[in-house]
């Protein structure tokens, strides 16, 4: 059993802390936001993450998991301090490290015993050295025995608990091998590959992994756009490609592209790092441009199908950036709503989990309670997020409710043949052979 403090209770920090507690450790999750900590103490989660509420409850009841805003209390007698605070994008796409810095300074102020400082947040390459420097400067002439370890997370929203408990690999980076071995001990029971490397390499593995996944998606979206002109079906292309073990089938679903709190931020941060250090990230720039374009193409398709978007009503199914999350950060749906509204369209929308978050940012959008209310009087229906509950909606009812039977299936979720047979104008992504 180890004593762990996790600083930051976003989906990474909260899932990490709760899972470490579930493995039998004593964990204190710390956050500056009293409201958030209060809610957690009352069993209210700050995010929708399947299974998290139950796991938090179990571990709080077992007295392994604690929540506080009090840095001193949280760090008392701690061996491992995980920094899992946000690193939002700055104006130029760079990662904003102010919260990482204040966490490191608090550790320096409050800890007088040997401690391992573990960067769980996604931070630019070189940040580990910078955190060590922040701590040393803050300590001045007061000695402190500490090491900084990079331990990037690979958690997907909507499956974060599973991804923590069943990782493909744990990556640890440090200049102090013994320190890395100590952190590795925390993951031993997961029986997975634990890769130990140096700080900068570990930090780069995180960015390179996310950027590569985003590249796969932009790649298949570019192929999909070609398929539309060349009469091929991108779903079948991706299937045929994926049988090649070197390619595989994952992250090859053409659609409205990637969003969320990670890919956009991380790809932009990597591009920024590259340019700042004198290399030209042409591929990353193209990957981002293709992704931006995917949203514009959806609006172009609707405009083409309806003649004009002015004074038309468009119904959107799904607002979260992907299913099984309430996170709408950089969701394709939000940008598409902005573009449609710009052309005079009226919007109706529904999402199974993201309505509360959407209500905070969406003005002049009719927020509905179900897919059928969205379809009421709409000139077209756009599927933006492939939630399970949209898979088998009653299309007969939808058709009666729509003003025009036009469907843009932004995630190739539905059966085009079935919908066409029902008299819908079906528009998919990359479906050039009309199937």
Nearer to ligand UDX, 257 or 315 (CB): 257
Q: Residue 176: name the closest of 192, 160, 199 by CA.
A: 199
The residue within the footprint of ligand UDX, chosen from 262, 267, 284, 355 (CB under 6 A), is 262
Residues 6 or more apart from 273 whose CB is under 8 A from it? 94, 124, 125, 207
Nearer to ligand UDX, 162 or 342 (CB): 162
Q: Counting contacts by CB under 6 A, is residue 430 touching ligand UDX?
A: no
Q: Counting contacts by CB under 6 A, is residue 264 touching ligand UDX?
A: no
The residue whose two tokens read 């293709």 is: 290
Where are the strands (E) in 10-107, listed by range? Answer: 26-30, 65-68, 80-83
Give the chain's length: 435
The whole-angstrom separation of Cα 34 and Cα 130 is 29
DSSP 155: P
Smallest separation, CB 10 to ligand UDX (Å): 12
Q: Nearest 5°: phi and psi at 137?
A: -60, -40
Nearer to ligand UDX, 321 or 395 (CB): 321
Binding window for ligand UDX (CB under 6 A); candidates: 104-112, 253-261, 304-312, 342-350: 253-261
The residue within the footprint of ligand UDX, chosen from 263, 350, 424, 426 (CB under 6 A), is 263
Q: Residue 84: name the closest of 146, 27, 22 by CA.
A: 27
The residue within the footprint of ligand UDX, chosen from 111, 183, 252, 398 (CB under 6 A), is 252
Nearer to ligand UDX, 252 or 269 (CB): 252
Smallest separation, CB 153 to ligand UDX (Å): 5
Where are the strands (E) in 266-390, listed by range? Answer: 313-317, 346-350, 365-367, 380-383
Binding window for ligand UDX (CB under 6 A); candidates: 29-37, 74-82, 130-138, 251-259: 251-259
The whole-angstrom separation of Cα 184 and Cα 193 is 10
Residues taking part in catalysis: 262
The residue within the footprint of ligand UDX, chosen from 20, 48, 219, 321 (CB under 6 A), is 321
The whole-angstrom separation of Cα 196 and Cα 356 is 41
Q: Counting contacts by CB under 6 A, is residue 106 touching ligand UDX?
A: no
Q: Counting contacts by CB under 6 A, is residue 413 touching ligand UDX?
A: no
Q: How many CA atoms lie within 13 A of 190 on its CB side?
A: 22
What residues between 217 and 246 interact with ligand UDX by CB under 6 A?
A: 217
Q: Residue 302: name the closest of 316, 319, 290, 292 by CA.
A: 316
3-class state of residue 256 by DSSP = coil
Q: How many CA atoms lie within 13 A of 359 on its CB side?
A: 6
Residue 181's region, left for phi above 0, alpha for psi from -120 to 50, else beta, is alpha
Smallest separation, CB 257 to ligand UDX (Å): 6
What residues between 153 and 182 interact with ligand UDX by CB under 6 A?
A: 153-157
Smallest separation, CB 141 to ligand UDX (Å): 39
Q: Counting contacts by CB under 6 A, is residue 253 touching ligand UDX?
A: yes
Nearer to ligand UDX, 157 or 335 (CB): 157
Residues 6 or more apart from 155 whose CB is under 8 A from it? 11, 12, 15, 163, 164
Smallest separation, CB 5 to ligand UDX (Å): 21
Q: Counting contacts by CB under 6 A, is residue 213 touching ligand UDX?
A: yes
Q: Nearest 5°: phi and psi at 67?
A: -125, 140
Size of the site for ligand UDX (CB under 6 A): 20
Q: Counting contacts by CB under 6 A, is residue 8 touching ligand UDX?
A: no
The residue within the footprint of ligand UDX, chosen from 132, 241, 251, 285 (CB under 6 A), is 251
The residue within the footprint of ligand UDX, chosen from 322, 329, 346, 431 (CB under 6 A), is 322
Smallest separation, CB 253 to ligand UDX (Å): 3
Q: Residue 164: name the closest of 17, 324, 308 by CA.
A: 17
Q: Counting contacts by CB under 6 A, is residue 259 touching ligand UDX?
A: yes
Q: Counting contacts by CB under 6 A, is residue 260 touching ligand UDX?
A: yes
Smallest separation, CB 199 to ligand UDX (Å): 19
- State the residues that interact with ligand UDX by CB under 6 A: 153-157, 210, 213, 217, 251-253, 255, 257-260, 262-263, 321-322
């Amino acid at each position: 059993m180890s004593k762990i403090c996790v600083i930051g209770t976003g989906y990474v920090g909260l899932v990490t802390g709760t899972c470490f507690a579930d493995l039998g450790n004593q964990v204190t999750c710390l956050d500056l936001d009293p409201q958030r900590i209060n809610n957690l103490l009352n069993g209210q989660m700050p995010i929708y993450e399947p299974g998290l509420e139950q796991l938090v409850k179990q571990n709080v009841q077992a007295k392994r998991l604690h929540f506080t805003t009090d840095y001193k209390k949280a760090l008392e007698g701690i061996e491992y301090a995980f920094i899992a605070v946000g690193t939002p994008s700055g104006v130029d796409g760079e990662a904003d490290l102010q919260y990482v810095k204040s966490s490191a300074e608090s550790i320096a102020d409050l800890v007088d015993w040997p401690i391992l400082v573990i960067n769980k947040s996604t931070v630019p390459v070189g940040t580990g050295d910078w955190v060590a420097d922040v701590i040393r400067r803050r300590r001045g002439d007061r000695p402190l025995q500490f090491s900084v370890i990079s331990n990037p997370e690979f958690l997907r929203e909507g499956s974060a608990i599973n991804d923590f408990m069943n990782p493909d690999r744990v990556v640890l980076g440090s200049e102090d091998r013994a320190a890395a071995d100590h952190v590795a001990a925390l993951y031993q029971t997961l029986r997975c590959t634990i890769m130990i490397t140096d700080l900068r390499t570990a930090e780069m593995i995180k960015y390179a992994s996310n950027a590569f996944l985003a590249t796969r998606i932009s790649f298949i979206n570019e192929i999909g756009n070609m398929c539309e002109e060349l009469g091929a079906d991108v779903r079948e292309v991706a299937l045929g490609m994926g049988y090649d073990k070197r390619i595989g089938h994952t992250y090859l679903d053409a659609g409205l592209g990637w969003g969320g709190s990670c890919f956009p931020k991380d790809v932009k941060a990597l591009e920024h790092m590259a340019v700042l250090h004198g290399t030209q990230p042409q591929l990353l720039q193209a990957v981002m441009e293709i992704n931006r374009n995917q949203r514009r193409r959806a609006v172009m398709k609707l405009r083409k199908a309806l003649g004009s978007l002015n004074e038309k009503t468009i119904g959107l199914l799904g607002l979260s950036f992907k299913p099984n999350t309430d996170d709408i950060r950089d969701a394709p749906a939000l940008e598409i709503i902005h573009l449609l509204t710009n052309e005079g369209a009226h919007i109706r929308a529904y999402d199974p989990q993201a309505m509360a978050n959407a209500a905070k940012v969406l003005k002049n959008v009719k927020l509905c309670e179900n897919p059928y209310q969205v379809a009421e009087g709409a000139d077209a229906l756009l599927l933006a997020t492939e939630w399970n509950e949209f898979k088998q909606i009653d299309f007969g009812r939808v058709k009666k409710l729509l003003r025009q039977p036009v469907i843009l299936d932004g995630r190739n979720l539905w059966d085009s043949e079935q919908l066409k047979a029902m008299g819908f104008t079906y528009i998919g992504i990359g479906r050039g052979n009309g199937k």
